[in-house]
Chain A
Amino acid sequence: MLELFVYGIVLGSIIALGAIGLTLVYGILRFANFAHGDLMTAGAYVALFFVASLFPSLGVPDARLAPFSFGWRMVAAFPLAMAAVAGVAILLDKTLYRKLRQKGSSAVMLAMSALGASFIVRMVVLILWGADYRSFYPGVLRPAMELPLGVKIRPDQVLILGVAAFLVVLLHLFLHRTKMGKAMRATADNPELARVSGIRTERVITCCWATGGALAAAAGVLYGIDVQIHPGMGWNFLLPLFAAAILGGIGNVYGALIGGLVIGVLQQLSTAFLLPTYKPAVAFVGMILILLIRPQGIFGPRE
């Protein structure tokens, strides 16, 4: 049970990275980005492209970083994947969502456009890489360490927690210490007021997509390091991401962090009683319970 709890925290930190991006987009652009899970998939596959295709053909050295399961190529691919998916998210905004915003389309139309974008991203991944499960480093032994109280954990998982925590701290500093971060928070609070105060909303939106996309890519790659990647992974993450964002109160970054951890732990603990394939359904049931009991989320404003 304790072991499942620890694994839940690891999974939860991955969910949290995705949910933070989702809730940022929700807060600033005010629509449900159904493509967010597939941005995670895109990140994982871009990293795969670097690690398994581009770097080997360029002859980039790849000494394994013991005790982890990966080498230097992954260290280089990680920020590149984040940058690439930030670019994909901005591109989707410029080609699709911006046009709809300019036409004054409703939030539901934007959400539908995002649903279309999610299928487009997934189809591109499927066309380029096929439908198989893939590993970044196939065949590498991944022994677990033994922690006190008999909890077995792999070094990779400890690193995932560390990287996720590092990214969250970085995001916190960005939102509170930089001008752009403050502008983002202001826009999320009140878009009209932000605009009349001279904040360039379109730049804030671009920055918001870059942040959300980069965090989603990080989540996707970390999941790939922990388990395996496949084109449907992002879709399977969609329900946990929304459950986490709703639990934390839509638009609340720190709420999404806590929500992600709670949903991750809930999903892992459920595997003690249910088949692991039911994980998305567990997140869904959790979400329905939140909607019934406290639809504004734990940290949402009172009604």
Chain B
Amino acid sequence: MELGGVLAYLVSFAIMASIYAVFSLGLNIQWGYTGLFNIGIAGFFCIGAYTSALITSPMPRGIYAQYVKQLFGLNLPFPFGLLGAALVCGLVALLIGIPTLRLREDYLAIATIGIAETFRLIFNNERWLANGPRGLMGLPQPLQGLVPSEYYNYLYLAIVFSIMWVIYWAIERAIRSPWGRVLKAIREDEVSAAMSGKDVFWFKMQSLVFGSMIMGVGGALYAHYTKAISPDVFTPLYGTFIIWVMLMAGGSGNNRGAILGAFLVWGIWIGTKFLTDLLPYTMKARAPYIRFLIVGVLLEVILIYRPQGLLGEEKKVSRFIEE
């Protein structure tokens, strides 16, 4: 491969890793700082991607209207897509939080699996909503035409990277505020947080909604990168499990860890593809399963031998406290 090809490959790698880093940061608010066990990330991934797709794409006309069915197509610019994705995901998180956040922690986990499965089934079966299993294609990209199309990925990387950085910065600020300290107090000991006069349910709800909104943004970024989405993308494997492994590998409770983990695990995921390419031809079709098996084993190893992840949590919460 010549140099240009390698560079293009690295750029596409960095785009996907950064998109996953956005999810990992969203999960870090919920799990890393508040201890909320959300294992339905794929649901927010899916909702974010579809919402932004419907907001930014035009309603199909003429002959296309026979092949592509969608509920609406607003043809609005990219920022509206991001905003819409965040708002809808926040709303869904609010609805799922109401019955589950007062109960034991694993109820939220089961309910989030349920929401992820349910939305995948809805998008798969209801063709009027977003074209059913065939999904939506040819989604618009932000600032298209500003640079020649062969260089577009560099521009998109810049967009994704800046959005990731803004989210990182916002979470870092929030987590070092009194609000962030309440979340950590709830994670460590709900009862004493409640005894200090904090509304545990309401703070958990904010954390769940805030984290899910970020995941919605991640979904939108994904949709406008691949330009094509269909329900089979948002499986528990690609949409939930790998993000958990990323956060656990990098270090939950550490935003830099969340980003590092996303790049690292995405690197392992891509790297194992080179390995499985060496397999005999007859095993090729099952190669992805071997790769996921490796990722699964990786999670178990982390959980047993290094549950704090590579970076671990920063204990220093304020710059006014001396080391």
Contacts and interface: CB of A to CB of B under 8 A. Distances in A.
Contact of A115 (B39, B99, B115, B124): B39
B111 A277 contact: no
A15 to B, nearest CB: 15
Interface string B99-133: 11011011101110111011001101100000000
B277 interface: no
A291 B107 contact: yes
B117 A108 contact: no
Contacts of B122: 281
B266 interface: no
A292 interface: yes
A143 B244 CA distance: 47
A115 B241 contact: yes
Interface in A189-246: 235, 238-239, 242, 246
A283 to B, nearest CB: 8
B286 A116 contact: no
B111 A291 contact: yes
Given A113-B303, A277-B125, A31 B114 contact: no
Interface stretch (A122-130, A158-166, A260-268): A122-130
A126 B292 CA distance: 11
B121 A277 contact: yes
Contact-size category for A: 35 or more
Contact of B303 (A112, A123, A246): A112
Contact of B286 (A103, A111, A115, A127): A127
A291 B106 contact: no
B244 A281 contact: no
B290 interface: yes
A246 B295 CA distance: 31
A52 interface: no
A133 interface: no
A87 interface: no
A145 interface: no
Contact of B109 (A32, A103, A285): A32
Contacts of B109: 32, 34, 108, 111
A32 to B, nearest CB: 4
A280 to B, nearest CB: 5
Interface in A245-274: 246
B114 A108 contact: no
Contacts of B299: 112-113, 116
Given A239-B114, A277-B121, A111 B106 contact: yes
B105 A277 contact: no
B140 interface: no
A32 B37 CA distance: 12
A32 B106 contact: yes
A99 interface: yes
Contact of B300 (A105, A113, A127, A292): A113
A96 interface: yes
B296 A116 contact: yes
Nearest to A117: B300
A124 B293 contact: yes
Interface in A78-113: 96, 99-100, 103, 105, 107-109, 111-113
Contact of B35 (A108, A130, A246): A108
A108 B106 contact: yes
B289 interface: yes
Contacts of B248: 112
Interface string A274-303: 010110110111011001100100000000
A36 to B, nearest CB: 12
Interface in A26-64: 31-32, 34
A281 B37 contact: no
A99 B307 CA distance: 12
B289 A120 contact: no
Interface in B208-244: 236-237, 241, 244
6 contacts: A112-B248, A113-B299, A116-B300, A277-B125, A278-B125, A295-B102
Smallest CB-CB A-B distances: 4 pairs: A284-B114, A32-B106, A123-B293, A126-B289
Given A112-B299, A126-B286, 5 more contacts: A32-B109, A120-B293, A120-B300, A235-B236, A239-B113
